[in-house]
C-alpha cells in the first residue's frame, strides 16, 4: 500500500476511476478477500437488482459486469472494478441493475465483514474508505458531464 493515503496514479481519471485500491499489494487484497465471499455468475445473470438493499461492496475479480440505470446501460466494469458503494455506505438501494456481461467472479464484502476487517486492519480499512470516496467522486464527476451536455 502506498505510504501516502492520498497518493493515486497520475493516469487520467477515466482509466482508474472505478478501480478501487489500484496500488494495494497482494497481501492486503488477501486480507480483504478473507473477510468477503466469492460469488460466480454466468453471463446474463442479474447480480444486483435495482431495489436490492445490500450493504456490501462488490469487486470484479474476473469477467465484466454492466451497470444499467433504468433502460440505459452505463458503465462496464472489468477486473478491479467496484460497485455497490451507495448501498454499502447508505444502506439504501442504488436503483441500478448490475448484470454479468460474461461468466464473472465477484468478491462481496458485506458491512459485517468490513467491520471485522477494520478491527484487524484499521489502516487498510481507512485506505479502502478514502479510496471508495475517490470512486464516488469520479462517478459524480462523470454524471455531471452527462447532465451538462
Class for the domain spanning 19-147: mainly beta
Helix (H, G, I), strand (E, B) or coil at 99: strand
Q: Beta partners for 77?
A: 65
Label residues 4-33 b or e (16+ Cβ within 10 Å = b).
eeeeeeeeeeeebbbbbbeebeeebeeebe
For 104-142, the pLDDT digits (tens) are 999 999 999 999 999 999 999 999 999 999 888 888 887
For 17-40, the pLDDT digits (tens) are 667 888 888 899 999 999 999 999
- Distance in angstroms (rounded) separating the CA atoms of residues 79 and 143: 22
Domain ranges of the chain: 19-147
- Distance in angstroms (rounded) separating the CA atoms of residues 20 and 81: 6
pLDDT at 10: 40
Amino acid at each position: 500500500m502506498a505510504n501516502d493515503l492520498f497518493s493515486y496514479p497520475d493516469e487520467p481519471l477515466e482509466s482508474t476511476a472505478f478501480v478501487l485500491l489500484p496500488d494495494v499489494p497482494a497481501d492486503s487484497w488477501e486480507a480483504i478477500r478473507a473477510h468477503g465471499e466469492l460469488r460466480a455468475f454466468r453471463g446474463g445473470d442479474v447480480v444486483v437488482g435495482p431495489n436490492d438493499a445490500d450493504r456490501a461492496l462488490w469487486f470484479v475479480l474476473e469477467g465484466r459486469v454492466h451497470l444499467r440505470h433504468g433502460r440505459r446501460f452505463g458503465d462496464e466494469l472489468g477486473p478491479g472494478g467496484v460497485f455497490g458503494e451507495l448501498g454499502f455506505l447508505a444502506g439504501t438501494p442504488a436503483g441500478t441493475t448490475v448484470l454479468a456481461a460474461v461468466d464473472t467472479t465477484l468478491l462481496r464484502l458485506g458491512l459485517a465483514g468490513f467491520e471485522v476487517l477494520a478491527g484487524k486492519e484499521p489502516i487498510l480499512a481507512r485506505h479502502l474508505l478514502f479510496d471508495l470516496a475517490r470512486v464516488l467522486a469520479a462517478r459524480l464527476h462523470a454524471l455531471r458531464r452527462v447532465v451538462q451536455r
